[in-house]
Chains A and B, each alone.
Chain A
Amino acid sequence: MKRAAMIAATTVISERANGAPYLPARYSPHLRVVDGVQWDKAPCRFCGTGCHVQVGVKDGKVVAIAGDRQAEVNKGLLCVKGYHVGLALYGKDRLTQPLLRQDGKLVPISWKKALDVIADRVQKNPAGFAFYGSGQWTIPEGYAANKFMKGGLSNNHIDPNARLCMASAVTGFLSTYGVDEPAGCYDDLDACDVVVFWGNNPAEMHPVLFSRIVDRRSRGETVRIVDITTRTTRSSGFADDVLLMKPQGDLAIANGLLHLLIARGTYDKEFVEKYCAFRGESDPPSLNGKAISFEDFKREIAEYTPAYVEQLSGVPARKIEELATLFGDRKLKITSLWCMGVNQHTRGTAMNALIHGVHLLSGHFGTPGNAPTSLTGQPSACGTVREVGTLSHALPGGRVVANEKHRRQGEDLWRVPHGRINAKPGYHTVELWRNFSTPTEKGGDIHTIWVQVTNPGQTLPNTNELFYPSRKLKDKFLIVSDVYPTETTLHADLVLPSAMWVEKNGMVGNSERRTQQWFKMVAPPGDARDDCWQIIAVARRLFDRGFAGMKDKDGKFLFAVEENGKEVPIWDYRHYYDVNVDRSLFEEYRPWTRLKHKDLAPYDEYVRAHGLRWPVVQQPDSSWRETKFRFSGFDDPYVAKGKTYDFYHSTSEDGRAQIWFHPYAAPPEAPDKDFPFWLCTGRVLEHWHSGSLTMRIPQLRRAMPQAYAEMHPMDARTLGVGNGERVRIRSRRGELELPVWIGGRGAPPPGTVFVPFFDESLLINRVTLDAHDPFSKQPDYKKCAVALERLSTEAGTP
């Protein structure tokens, strides 16, 4: 018997080593096996485009990636990052065990101890415990964190890194339509005659979407591209018109277009009279401002003549007039796209609203090809942050903590006692980290931050003020869940190894309101575990200690999951995949989504589909139908019958969208005699965000091995630097030494330098500014003042 038992166990191990299925059984209709490779679908791990990939697994490892031809987003195409996404799992230095800092060193500890440490920090003072999350959180992860903090700890100090990338898009949508997220979708790119890029570089940042436009041209279609930018980029190379503007000039350009549409009488009078209202800034300032009349608006916009706009923006008046001519032609279908250039802006809310206003005033809205669409950078800034509400003022379903009715709704949906959700919004990101870096005795009341799926040590602005000071404060404790060592884990007190992408089940939501799902396909390395499990396990530790916040109103565990009438111990990782926790959390979350007409379908519909765009509503034949064009009667199921358009969340409560007057305002910091250059930061094609994943993919690292300072040849000549030579970039906040790249893929104008932020060895955010938009609280990474000094005469190509 003993020999037979040993043979049995050894046989199982041998079979597993040879590729026998290793994972909990799952039903995926997309699963297929070809030549010993098991293929299944997943959205790409990287950007907010939401391309679908086919993931090939053999011997417990991802061995192949292919574009998914059935995916409506990318139709089989991937970008260079997407083709290599599988390699992101296999860097040599994956985090595999919990690590606790003791005597200055990170030492391995057990998960049991790690959970106790976190629970101790919560119980030290629940009000001073904060969560810093991410637009890379899956929907269930963000939902669990939100419920843990707001429904459990009665604490709203949870904010995401998407505060740094999308918050102004949110406030722009809210102030215009009364509800977040684009009305249009990627189908607009297949139908438009004109596409306007407002301060973004989609050729590098959203290359698959860019390809949709370029492919149409290669098939002989006419698609006119207008590129409004502060530096010429690869996108500019494809543009018919490049409007090279001074930083902040976009405010003037948008106002200039509004002015000309009215002055020329080419605005869509019928559309405006039926479907729009006008708003201006209030005193004191508020997100919804004050109602103004069309005549008021006309009076305010009058000064933005082409000559004045040229003075403010540096763009020749003629080009403003030409763009206004395009917008004034209702036969053309025009789509605007924007991303960080508009959102990372101290007037980001205003800028977003102005672009919406240009489309509404000109009637380029609501039919295929006519859309103002903000693009997201992260895979689930929409699906998790914006929809699940992991912001310090928000709840899921577009609810806000400051509204009593919303809190009651939330408490009922979460089955927690009334009064559990705190009415006071928590700290937004900049505030949160500034507070964490402030000594307790000086009012810094945040004692612990738990970071998941993001790298604030590299991505926060002005890190010398917002991040590093906290590391010298003994009573401030930083917990980081991540997959690789980063600048943030380097300074953490507790590091938790996380599973990533297809090492766990997941769901995300992309830029076009498309919610997507995937199943776990491979095991995480070592003792790395799902971020969602980590949250639930800490919650359970607190529950077992009698912490009232982790009980619902019936005294049950806040994250209880039952099967056949029995609670499944999902807080024990050995049982976490006994049930589908994602499905359980998602179905609990779904009722929230109907509150603001962002209905989601049942979980299993997303298993079957390559994503669905909400609102997804059930048809009489029980099928589920997605919505491509919101607020349009021909497609949106929530538009009242008989109406062509219906802005059913109108802030003026009359079914109208708001066209805003927002005046030009100078940036908070501009070049002067001490700091004579503009600094703009951003991304590159090969790397995503802080590079913690892509810099570990050899092919991508070789293609773009380090950051650089991109400058104009004239400036380089004046400074006396050649390609590859080093300069010091210095601001009022910090400095950094970098190699120079002249004549690279981007061309900043004289007086501007561009530095990408992906390189953890060259942390440009020590230099950037933390000034932010007054409503969205989103910082401006695109413009601050710096000085440049030549450092060495040694050449070296970046």
Chain B
Amino acid sequence: MPVSSLVVTLLPSELLRKQIVDGLSADARVTLGLAQDFAANQLVPVVLETETIGEARDTAEAIAAMDGVAQVELVGVDFSDLDDCGTQTE
């Protein structure tokens, strides 16, 4: 199961931040770390556990598309437990 390490930048809207955090917390694949303020924004470390790398990518893009998310940066993907990495990668 690939494990993706993300940094999610949240915009300065308390309402939207709460909506994002509530939404992500409800997703069993997502683990949120401790957010840190950075200028007017907030950076949140996020770990994503998905069945495939493709699903990880789609989920990251879905997070990036959420209202209140400025950007999602991929720190790394650990897919060391996959049997055949070449065919799994999209």
A residues at B contact (CB < 8 Å): 1-2, 4-6, 8-10, 12-14, 16-17, 60-61, 94, 96-97, 108, 110, 523, 525-527, 574
Collect the chain B residues with CB atoms within 8 Å of residue A97's CB.
11-13
Structural contact, A1 and B78, CB atoms closer than 8 A: yes
Within 8 A of A (CB), among B27-50: 31, 33-34, 36, 38-41, 43, 45-47, 49
25 contacts between A and B (CB under 8 A): A1-B80, A2-B47, A4-B3, A4-B5, A5-B5, A6-B5, A6-B31, A8-B5, A8-B75, A9-B33, A9-B46, A9-B75, A13-B7, A13-B36, A14-B36, A96-B12, A97-B13, A108-B13, A525-B39, A525-B41, A526-B41, A526-B70, A527-B11, A527-B70, A574-B71
Collect the chain A residues with CB atoms within 8 Å of residue B36's CB.
13-14, 17
Collect the chain A residues with CB atoms within 8 Å of residue B73's CB.
12
Structural contact, B49 and A9, CB atoms closer than 8 A: no
Structural contact, B3 and A5, CB atoms closer than 8 A: yes
In the bound complex, what is the Cα–Cα distance between A9 and B34 (angstroms)?
A: 10
* Contact A8 B76, CB 8 Å, known A2-B47, A16-B38: yes
In the bound complex, what is the Cα–Cα distance between A525 and B11 (angstroms)?
A: 9
In the bound complex, what is the Cα–Cα distance between A5 and B48 (angstroms)?
A: 9
Structural contact, A5 and B4, CB atoms closer than 8 A: yes
Structural contact, A6 and B49, CB atoms closer than 8 A: no
In the bound complex, what is the Cα–Cα distance between A527 and B5 (angstroms)?
A: 23
Structural contact, A2 and B67, CB atoms closer than 8 A: no
Collect the chain B residues with CB atoms within 8 Å of residue A10's CB.
33-34, 45
Collect the chain B residues with CB atoms within 8 Å of residue A4's CB.
3, 5, 78
Collect the chain B residues with CB atoms within 8 Å of residue A9's CB.
5-7, 33, 45-47, 75
Name the residue among B5, B38, B80, B81 with the largest chain A CB count within 10 angstroms.
Answer: B5
Minimum CB–CB distance from A98 to chain B (whole Å) comes to: 11
Collect the chain B residues with CB atoms within 8 Å of residue A574's CB.
64, 71
Name the residue of chain A whose CB is nearest to the CB of B12.
Answer: A526
Collect the chain A residues with CB atoms within 8 Å of residue B3's CB.
1-2, 4-5
Collect the chain B residues with CB atoms within 8 Å of residue A2's CB.
3, 31, 47, 49
Structural contact, B11 and A526, CB atoms closer than 8 A: yes
* Contact A12 B7, CB 8 Å, known A1-B81, A17-B36: yes
* Contact A96 B78, CB 8 Å, known A9-B46, A110-B67: no
Q: How many residues on B have C-beta within 8 angstroms of the other chain's C-beta atoms?
A: 31
Structural contact, A13 and B78, CB atoms closer than 8 A: no
Structural contact, B34 and A5, CB atoms closer than 8 A: no
Collect the chain A residues with CB atoms within 8 Å of residue B75's CB.
5, 8-9, 12
B residues at A contact (CB < 8 Å): 3-7, 11-13, 31, 33-34, 36, 38-41, 43, 45-47, 49, 64, 67, 70-71, 73, 75-76, 78, 80-81
Structural contact, B39 and A61, CB atoms closer than 8 A: yes
Name the residue of chain B whose CB is nearest to the CB of A113.
Answer: B67
Structural contact, A16 and B43, CB atoms closer than 8 A: yes
Collect the chain A residues with CB atoms within 8 Å of residue B49's CB.
2
Name the residue of chain A whose CB is nearest to the CB of B41.
Answer: A526
The 6 tightest CB contacts between A and B, nearest first, are: A9-B45, A5-B5, A525-B40, A1-B3, A9-B5, A8-B5
Minimum CB–CB distance from A441 to chain B (whole Å) comes to: 39
* Contact A523 B39, CB 8 Å, known A1-B80, A4-B78: yes
Collect the chain A residues with CB atoms within 8 Å of residue B5's CB.
4-6, 8-9
Collect the chain B residues with CB atoms within 8 Å of residue A96's CB.
11-12, 40
Collect the chain A residues with CB atoms within 8 Å of residue B78's CB.
1, 4-5
In the bound complex, what is the Cα–Cα distance between A17 and B4 (angstroms)?
A: 22
Name the residue of chain B whose CB is nearest to the CB of A60.
Answer: B39
Collect the chain A residues with CB atoms within 8 Å of residue B46's CB.
9
Collect the chain B residues with CB atoms within 8 Å of residue A16's CB.
38, 43
Collect the chain A residues with CB atoms within 8 Å of residue B64's CB.
574
In the bound complex, what is the Cα–Cα distance between A6 and B6 (angstroms)?
A: 8
Collect the chain A residues with CB atoms within 8 Å of residue B34's CB.
10
Name the residue of chain A whose CB is nearest to the CB of B35.
Answer: A13
Collect the chain A residues with CB atoms within 8 Å of residue B39's CB.
60-61, 523, 525
Collect the chain B residues with CB atoms within 8 Å of residue A523's CB.
39
* Contact A6 B11, CB 8 Å, known A1-B80, A16-B38, A527-B70: no
In the bound complex, what is the Cα–Cα distance between A782 and B85 (angstroms)?
A: 73
Collect the chain A residues with CB atoms within 8 Å of residue B13's CB.
97, 108
Minimum CB–CB distance from A221 to chain B (whole Å) comes to: 48
Minimum CB–CB distance from A25 to chain B (whole Å) comes to: 14
In the bound complex, what is the Cα–Cα distance between A348 and B52 (angstroms)?
A: 69
Extra 20 A-B pairs, beta carbons < 8 Å, given A5-B3, A9-B5: A4-B5, A4-B78, A5-B76, A6-B5, A8-B5, A8-B76, A9-B7, A9-B46, A9-B75, A10-B33, A12-B75, A17-B36, A60-B38, A61-B39, A96-B11, A96-B12, A526-B12, A526-B41, A527-B11, A574-B64
In the bound complex, what is the Cα–Cα distance between A2 and B46 (angstroms)?
A: 10
In the bound complex, what is the Cα–Cα distance between A13 and B33 (angstroms)?
A: 11
Collect the chain B residues with CB atoms within 8 Å of residue A14's CB.
36
Name the residue of chain B whose CB is nearest to the CB of A14.
Answer: B36
In the bound complex, what is the Cα–Cα distance between A8 and B75 (angstroms)?
A: 7
Collect the chain A residues with CB atoms within 8 Å of residue B11's CB.
96-97, 526-527
Minimum CB–CB distance from A562 to chain B (whole Å) comes to: 22
Collect the chain B residues with CB atoms within 8 Å of residue A8's CB.
5, 75-76
In the bound complex, what is the Cα–Cα distance between A574 and B66 (angstroms)?
A: 13
Collect the chain A residues with CB atoms within 8 Å of residue B6's CB.
9
Minimum CB–CB distance from A12 to chain B (whole Å) comes to: 5
Name the residue of chain B whose CB is nearest to the CB of A9.
Answer: B45
Minimum CB–CB distance from B57 to chain A (whole Å) comes to: 14
In the bound complex, what is the Cα–Cα distance between A763 and B53 (angstroms)?
A: 59
Name the residue among A1, A16, A61 with the largest chain B CB count within 10 angstroms.
Answer: A1
Name the residue among A5, A97, A523 with the largest chain B CB count within 10 angstroms.
Answer: A5
Collect the chain B residues with CB atoms within 8 Å of residue A108's CB.
13
Collect the chain A residues with CB atoms within 8 Å of residue B41's CB.
525-526
In the bound complex, what is the Cα–Cα distance between A525 and B38 (angstroms)?
A: 10
In the bound complex, what is the Cα–Cα distance between A639 and B23 (angstroms)?
A: 69
Minimum CB–CB distance from A24 to chain B (whole Å) comes to: 12
Minimum CB–CB distance from A541 to chain B (whole Å) comes to: 16
Residue of B31, B43, B71 near A13 (CB, 8 A) is B43
Name the residue of chain B whose CB is nearest to the CB of A22.
Answer: B38
Collect the chain B residues with CB atoms within 8 Å of residue A61's CB.
39
Collect the chain A residues with CB atoms within 8 Å of residue B76's CB.
5, 8
Collect the chain A residues with CB atoms within 8 Å of residue B45's CB.
6, 9-10, 12-13
Collect the chain B residues with CB atoms within 8 Å of residue A94's CB.
40
In the bound complex, what is the Cα–Cα distance between A108 and B15 (angstroms)?
A: 11
In the bound complex, what is the Cα–Cα distance between A9 and B3 (angstroms)?
A: 12
In the bound complex, what is the Cα–Cα distance between A2 and B31 (angstroms)?
A: 9
Collect the chain A residues with CB atoms within 8 Å of residue B43's CB.
13, 16
In the bound complex, what is the Cα–Cα distance between A110 and B68 (angstroms)?
A: 8
Name the residue of chain B whose CB is nearest to the CB of A572.
Answer: B64
Name the residue of chain A whose CB is nearest to the CB of B34.
Answer: A10
Name the residue of chain B whose CB is nearest to the CB of A529.
Answer: B70
In the bound complex, what is the Cα–Cα distance between A527 and B43 (angstroms)?
A: 14
Minimum CB–CB distance from B12 to chain A (whole Å) comes to: 5
Minimum CB–CB distance from A569 to chain B (whole Å) comes to: 12
Minimum CB–CB distance from B56 to chain A (whole Å) comes to: 11
Name the residue of chain B whose CB is nearest to the CB of A4.
Answer: B78
Minimum CB–CB distance from B35 to chain A (whole Å) comes to: 9
Name the residue among B12, B34, B39, B78 with the largest chain A CB count within 10 angstroms.
Answer: B39
Minimum CB–CB distance from A117 to chain B (whole Å) comes to: 16
Residue of A5, A17, A60, A527 near B47 (CB, 8 A) is A5
Minimum CB–CB distance from A662 to chain B (whole Å) comes to: 54
Minimum CB–CB distance from A785 to chain B (whole Å) comes to: 48
In the bound complex, what is the Cα–Cα distance between A10 and B33 (angstroms)?
A: 8
